[in-house]
Amino acid sequence: MTDYPTSRPTDAAYLGEQPELPRELLNLPWIDIHNHAHTLSWEDRERYALSGCQSMMMVASGYHWTPYKPVSADDIRFLWDDAINRRAAIERNHFFEAKLGLGVHTGVRIENPDELLDAMAEYCELPEVIAIGETGVTPGQHVASWDVDSQQAVVQAQMELADEHDLPVLLHTPNQSSDGGRSYRSELAVPGYEKNTSLGADPVLDGDNPALESVKRDVEAMRDAGLDDRQVVASHADDNNTEYLMEETECYLSYTIGHSWLIGVTAEDVADAIDEYGPERIMVDTDCANVLRTDPFALKRAIFELYRYGIDEDAIRQVVLENPRTVFDFES
Ligand SMILES: [Zn+2]
């Protein structure tokens, strides 16, 4: 017991040896390899800077931002051009390095995808474009369904381009929807997610585990394209796909923790994966976007959570900084 002049003993009098605290984590730089920060507010982007984000990849491929339904190639092309148009200003405003991922996502059927694929080669040559994606087979589309073989062909074509241009591919792996719980009034849909769910098309994959089936098709596309596993980062890794991706491929897995309220993945899942498989092929991303309730501080918070869950500082540094640097061509 330490002598304190308090009138009676307080907790402080009973403290054992103080644990060593990981003060270096307070200033550990980190990289977010999957977000849509060009759609966020200035203040949200500032939150990235305030919490130590050193570099990020802003992904322009999402159908969420195309105003017209059905979606045509031109709509997606506009998203790419808009991101290119604004990227440098975002860097100048916030000081972090902002690079781009451009892709054809299959969350909605695009009427003339070949036009996009033809145009993509030249975009791949731009120094600010450091990856293709996000893309990946999805079990069900918004607005108009896209048959699964055609989806896979579009994913494979992008992987072939990635191979030619020596770029990594950011895969969008579908999360398995969690069962149970109440659902919201159908006319209001899910709060925090700007999506007209009444436009959901019938699923194109309807086996026991369509989310995993999609990932297997992506891996088949990767193999058929001849793209090295280590050039592929599977974002939205979760309980449902981790074992398959870890054991059957050499791909990287990135756990999306910026909208845990929707997909249920948290730093705890990341810690479990590190315990089981080591940190070598693991990353963490936020997927922050303006169409969804997301948290720009999520990755910084995860750094502290991982430590609390028993992950050591070297492993944390590897998953939030070093692995992204190895795979993506960031300058800093
Ligand atoms: Zn995303």
User: How many other CB atoms are found less than 10 A from the CB of residue 276?
Assistant: 10
- Whether residue 45 is contained in a domain is answered as yes
d(CA 129, CA 168): 10
- Whether residue 186 is contained in a domain is answered as yes
Question: Ligand 1: distance of its center to the CA of 2 in Å?
Answer: 53
Is 181 or 291 the better-scoring residue by pLDDT? 291
Question: Ligand 1: distance of its center to the CA of 34 in Å?
Answer: 6
pLDDT of residue 102: 98
The answer to whether residue 69 scores a pLDDT higher than 90 is: no
- Whether residue 55 is contained in a domain is answered as yes
Question: Ligand 1: distance of its center to the CA of 107 in Å?
Answer: 11
- What tens digit of pLDDT does each residue of 72-127 get? 999 999 999 999 999 999 999 999 999 999 999 998 899 999 999 999 999 999 99
- Whether residue 314 is contained in a domain is answered as yes
- Whether residue 8 is contained in a domain is answered as no
Question: Ligand 1: distance of its center to the CA of 95 in Å?
Answer: 22
pLDDT of residue 185: 86
- What tens digit of pLDDT does each residue of 237-280 get? 999 999 999 999 999 999 999 999 999 999 999 999 999 999 99
Q: Please give the residue range of the domain that contains residue 233.
A: 25-327
- Whether residue 231 is contained in a domain is answered as yes
Query: How confident is the prediction for the chain on average, in pLDDT?
Result: 95
- What tens digit of pLDDT does each residue of 5-58 get? 999 999 999 998 889 999 999 999 999 999 999 999 999 999 999 999 999 999
Question: Ligand 1: distance of its center to the CA of 62 in Å?
Answer: 7
Question: Ligand 1: distance of its center to the CA of 282 in Å?
Answer: 17
d(CA 309, CA 297): 18
Question: Ligand 1: distance of its center to the CA of 35 in Å?
Answer: 6
- Whether residue 97 is contained in a domain is answered as yes
pLDDT of residue 173: 96
The CA–CA distances, whole Å, from 289 to 97, 112, 160, 193, 259 equal: 18, 26, 28, 10, 10
Question: Ligand 1: distance of its center to the CA of 178 in Å?
Answer: 19
Question: Ligand 1: distance of its center to the CA of 23 in Å?
Answer: 31
CA quadruple 119, 71, 209, 272: dihedral positive or negative?
positive
Question: Ligand 1: distance of its center to the CA of 71 in Å?
Answer: 18
Using a pLDDT cut of 90, give the percent of the chain over it: 83
d(CA 157, CA 136): 11
- Whether residue 318 is contained in a domain is answered as yes
Question: What value does the mean pLDDT take over residues 209-216?
Answer: 96
Is 200 or 319 the better-scoring residue by pLDDT? 319
pLDDT of residue 178: 63
pLDDT of residue 179: 62
Q: Output DSSP code: residue 193.
A: B
Question: Ligand 1: distance of its center to the CA of 60 in Å?
Answer: 9
Question: Ligand 1: distance of its center to the CA of 129 in Å?
Answer: 16
The answer to whether residue 180 scores a pLDDT higher than 70 is: no
Question: Ligand 1: distance of its center to the CA of 59 in Å?
Answer: 7
Q: What's the domain count of the chain?
A: 1
Question: Ligand 1: distance of its center to the CA of 274 in Å?
Answer: 23
pLDDT of residue 166: 98
- What tens digit of pLDDT does each residue of 286-298 get? 999 999 999 999 9
pLDDT of residue 187: 84
Contact between 141 and 109 under an 8 Å Cβ cutoff? The reply is yes
d(CA 59, CA 231): 17
Which residues of the chain form beta strands (DSSP E)? Answer: 30-35, 53-60, 97-102, 129-135, 169-172, 232-235, 252-256, 282-285
- Give the residues across from 180 on adjacent strands: none
Contact between 30 and 299 under an 8 Å Cβ cutoff? The reply is yes
CATH of the domain at 126: 3.20.20.140
